[in-house]
Amino acid sequence: MSLILGIESSCDETAVSVVRDGREVLSNAVASQIAKHAPYGGVIPELAARAHLQAAFPTAEEALKTAGVKPSDLSAVAVTHAPGLIPSLLVGLNFAKGFASANHLPLIGINHFSAHIYGAFLEQPEIVFGDPALFPMLALVVSGGHTALVVVDSDGKMTLAGTTMDDAAGEAFDKAAKVLNLGYPGGPLIEKLSKNGNPHAVEFPRSFIASSGKPLAPENRFHFSFSGVKTALLYHVRDCGGIENISDAMLFDILASYQEAIVDVLCRKAFDAARFYHVKSVVLAGGVACNGALRERFAATIPAGCKAILPLKKYCTDNAAMVGGLGWHYWKNGVSSPLTLDAQARLPLNQVLPICFE
């Protein structure tokens, strides 16, 4: 048995978790900063870093206490070092370095993006990460900072098939909520209000999707763009005479249609890529994977012969369990990081995921 302490601070959540053998989550403590950033309609990096400084130690204490373990019981410390907001990453990374050094534990640097993919396997014993029957695998990673399609081969090699050329899907939700004065974060609010609307009331554009007899440029086949739908929303609100002239019923229809446009593009692109790369499974990951409409469409329209893998909702948003879980695979393969490991805002996706066949 091995216990990994996971630490996550890439954006606005201070999270610490204890994970046993890469699968069993013994604790998953999260200190949220939503209330701090809500007045600004988005995350302010310096405010986030200060909040991480205050929350790191008590959150770690909470995680260890909940798991019922001591530092001496741990096998390693896994920490997100990229990608993310540099001020936030530095706090978590330096805390992890200090903790690892003080307790004579190996340090394992984790790619936040890869951790989101692994998070889909947590606490789902019927789905084994290293099952050869799942590979090649396609991951659709959708969050406030990422929207990408990644192919994972049976040897763990990751290949970026497509990414967003401008806004991420989660960012498009947040910006829409800001335009409509709904509050922050926008995704959960839009999902809730959309349930009262008609998703086909407003025809919002689907970027990089062949339509109206126009062929799609081959280089954009698996890429995403959400700036156009965001701009279309802005113009639609203006054409309605401004927010003050939009009734509740109109608002619900606008939001349902806006959400439909984003979900439609995400699933169509993902499943086109699934067929093109002949994958055996498709993973939905990232914070936007909490969205009920996306989860429903994803499960209902996945191509025949592909297995749909959806994470538990509590492991969609930023958390340390996904960091600790993936860290176990690195630890089992004898991989660790030096104490000189640095934080990086962006990290090229040229990794090989450590896949341990169980």
| DSSP secondary structure letters along 79-139 | EEEESS-HHHHHHHHHHHHHHHHHTT--EEEEEHHHHHHHHTTTT-TTS-TT-GGG-SEEE
Q: By mean pLDDT, which of 34-43, 129-138, 259-268, 328-337 is the weakest?
A: 34-43
Query: Is pLDDT above 90 for 358?
Result: no
- What's the CA angle centered on 266, arms 253 and 43, to 5 degrees? 80
Q: How many Cα neighbours within 13 Å face the side chain of 20?
A: 11
pLDDT band at residue 211 under the 50/70/90 scheme? low
Q: Which pLDDT score is estimated for 208? A: 86
**Does domain 132-311 fall into CATH 3.40.980.10?**
no
The single-letter code of the amino acid at 93 is L
215 pLDDT above the threshold of 80: no
State pLDDT tens for residues 55-111: 999 999 999 999 999 999 999 999 999 999 999 999 999 999 999 999 999 999 999
Q: What is the DSSP letter of 206?
A: -
The two tokens of residue 141 are 């990673």
Structure token pair of residue 131: 């099952």
Q: How many CB atoms lie within 10 A of CB 32?
A: 15
d(CA 227, CA 225): 6
pLDDT over 60 at 264, yes or no: yes
Output the pLDDT for position 209: 84
DSSP for 208-233? TS-BTTBPPPGGGTT-B--HHHHHHH
User: Per residue in 184-201, pLDDT tens?
Assistant: 889 999 999 999 999 999
pLDDT over 70 percentage in the chain: 97
Amino acid in the structure at residue 288: V
Q: How far apart are the first and last CA of the chain?
A: 14
Mean pLDDT of the region 133-142 = 97
Task: Convert the pLDDT of each residue in 178-188 to its tens digit.
Answer: 999 999 889 99
Residue by residue, what is the 3-state secondary structure of 311-352? CCHHHCCCCCHHHHHHHHHHHHCCCCECCCCCCCCCCCCCCE
Range(s) of the chain covered by CATH 3.30.420.40: 3-121+315-332, 132-311
What is the reported pLDDT for 354?
A: 87
Residue 151 CB contacts under 8 Å (≥ 6 apart), including other chains:
136, 137, 138, 139, 158, 159, 161, 273, 277, 279
pLDDT value at residue 356: 64
- Closest Cα partner for 179 from 68, 53, 42? 42
Q: Which CATH superfamily is domain 3-121+315-332 in?
A: ATPase, nucleotide binding domain (3.30.420.40)
Instruction: Note the pTM of the prediction, 2 decimals.
Output: 0.93
